[in-house]
Amino acid sequence: MRFLLISICLLLVSCASYPKKQHFQLDNSVSKSIENPYFSDETKDYVYKASIDVYDKHFGGLLIIKKINEQEHRVVFTTEMGNKLFDFTFTENHFQVNYILDELNRKMLINVLKNDFKVLVSDNLQVINTFSEANTNVFETSIYNKNHYYYFENKQLTQVVRTKNGKVKVQFLFSEINNHLADQIDIKHHNIKLDITLQSITQ
Amino acid sequence: MRNLVFLFLLLSVTMQAQTKMSATEAQSLKTLVKRQALTTKTIVSDFTQYKHLDFLSNDIITKGKLAFKTPDLVKWEYTEPYKYAVLFKNETLFINDEGKKNQVDMGSNKLFKELNNLIINSIKGDMFDEDAFVITYFKTGKNSEVHFVPKDKNSSKYIETFQITFNPSGDVTEVKMMEPSGDYTKIVFSNKELNKPLPDAIFTH
């Protein structure tokens, strides 16, 4: 019986929501929608030198992101020498693979990439809850039915955290920010050994 | 009326820009390039690469240096806007990505092996393999342009045509790789020097 109690207690603790664990204060007086400005300018060609470390392998290439119109983004990955590895189209409710190299055409990989890049290109999000802590505002949103927390420090988006059952799954870090352009973006996966580092070479 | 004349002029210029070669002209270009390739022991050159994606406002421009030493040493090095070098040596592809070193054994990778051969041959211009490509010859002003369409279905999935431009002395000045989607990679060579002695140190990883 005592065991049962302990395990129920443990269960309750481990199931506590992410904001509760982080001791965030609920504060729903602020905005109902937020913007991610980093890939939102239709006049810009966003080009990043990408480094991908997956398990013990290291890959490089160029990640190219373009906002085509209000509803659509293109995301293309090429090798440094220009060979196209994949080409995706994202719209509000639709995702399309325009091209993918046969060797990379794996459903699991495409899903990981789809989920990650959707976060980069989602530039307007509905807020579910708002929390605050010192000079940071944290906004709870949902992308593909997964909880995402957007951190704005001094009104600048610095981090997005995807969680599941109150645990951090993926972290997106934006740094070296100038004029709505994040020169450095780090995507860190906590459940699989996959890190993506992006360094802007936008011309 | 003036517009019409202008349009006509433009049309005749663009039509003149690329005409098909006669069989004799094609044969003499082939001989010239092959002879040039045979006497070429080393090449150093600067290059500018234009990656064209239809949906972008501008091409992505990268720059670098190329070094080649017969029979099969190639170093392809990007210097702007990032540092990235690939060295083809002894069936191995050595990669230096901003100091992060990596290597790929090409002996086990057919795709890389083919890529290596294509790079070496396109630098020298000597891709006149009728078994592997459907080849078409054009004149563009003083220069020649040759289109190589891979016959192998597997390669043509990545690259639909290689378009190589030669100057009047049979040197490669431009390589354009067209993808089936219409996007392409164009590499323009400049400051090309042939048969300059190259120290082996250039080709170390």
Indicate which CATH number applies to the domain containing B96: 2.50.20.10
Smallest Cβ–Cβ distance between B84 and the set A44, A58, A60 belongs to: A60
Q: Tell me whether residue B1 is in a domain.
A: no
Q: Quickly tell me which residue has 């000079």 as its tokens.
A: A135
Task: Pick the range with the lowest mean pLDDT from A55-64, B7-16, B55-64, B165-174.
Answer: B7-16
Tell whether the model's pLDDT for residue B10 goes beyond 90: no
Smallest Cβ–Cβ distance between A84 and the set B81, B86, B179 belongs to: B179
**Structural domain boundaries in chain A:** 17-200
Q: Tell me whether residue B199 is in a domain.
A: yes
Average pLDDT, chain B: 85
Confidence (pLDDT) at A44? 95
Tell whether the model's pLDDT for residue B113 goes beyond 90: no
Q: Which domain holds residue B77?
A: 25-203
For B25-45, what is the mean pLDDT? 90
Q: Tell me whether residue B34 is in a domain.
A: yes
Q: Tell me whether residue B12 is in a domain.
A: no
β-strands A194-200, A181-189 pairing: antiparallel
CATH class of A17-200: mainly beta
**Residues in chain A with pLDDT < 70?**
1-15, 28-31, 203
Tell me which of A29 and B179 has the higher pLDDT: B179
Reported ipTM: the value is 0.83
Q: What is the pTM of this model?
A: 0.85
Smallest Cβ–Cβ distance between A64 and the set B53, B78, B95 belongs to: B53
What is the rounded distance in angstroms from the CA atom of residue B160 to the CA atom of residue B145? Answer: 16
User: CA of A96 to nearest chain B CA: how many angstroms apart?
Assistant: 15
Q: Tell me whether residue B166 is in a domain.
A: yes
Of A186, A189, A184, A155, which Cα lies nearest the Cα of A172? A186
Tell me which H or E stretch contains B13. helix B2-17
Of A189, A201, A150, which Cα lies nearest the Cα of A37? A150
For B27-31, what is the mean pLDDT? 92
Smallest Cβ–Cβ distance between A80 and the set B84, B102, B179 belongs to: B84
Residue-level length of chain A:
203
pLDDT digits 0-9 by tens, B124-154: 767 888 888 899 999 998 999 999 998 888 7
List chain B residues with CB under 8 Å of A74: 55
Q: Could you tell me the sign of the dihedral formed by the alpha carbons of A155, A48, B183, B105, in that order?
A: negative
Subunit contact B82:A87, Cβ cutoff 8 A: no
Tell whether the model's pLDDT for residue B74 goes beyond 70: yes
Q: Tell me whether residue B18 is in a domain.
A: no
Residue-level length of chain B:
205
Confidence (pLDDT) at A12? 47
Q: How confident is the model at residue B170 (pLDDT cuts 50, 70, 90)?
A: confident
Tell whether the model's pLDDT for residue B7 goes beyond 80: no
Confidence (pLDDT) at A179? 86
Q: Could you tell me the sign of the dihedral formed by the alpha carbons of B23, B27, B29, B33, in that order?
A: positive
What is the rounded distance in angstroms from the CA atom of residue B113 to the CA atom of residue A108? Answer: 28
Q: Which of residues 23-82 of B touch A (CB under 8 A)?
A: 49, 51, 53, 55-58, 60-62, 76, 78, 81-82
Tell whether the model's pLDDT for residue B188 goes beyond 60: yes
Is residue A97 within 8 A of residue A86, CB to CB? The reply is: yes
Tell me which of B163 and B157 has the higher pLDDT: B163
pLDDT digits 0-9 by tens, B86-99: 898 877 888 888 88
User: A49 to chain B: nearest residue by CA?
Assistant: B82
- Is the bond leading into B197 cis (omega within 30 degrees of zero)? no
Say if B103 is an interface residue toward chain A (CB within 8 Å): no
Tell me which of B5 and B88 has the higher pLDDT: B88
- Cβ neighbours of B201 (radius 10 Å): 6
Structural domains counted in chain B? 1
Q: Tell me whether residue B4 is in a domain.
A: no
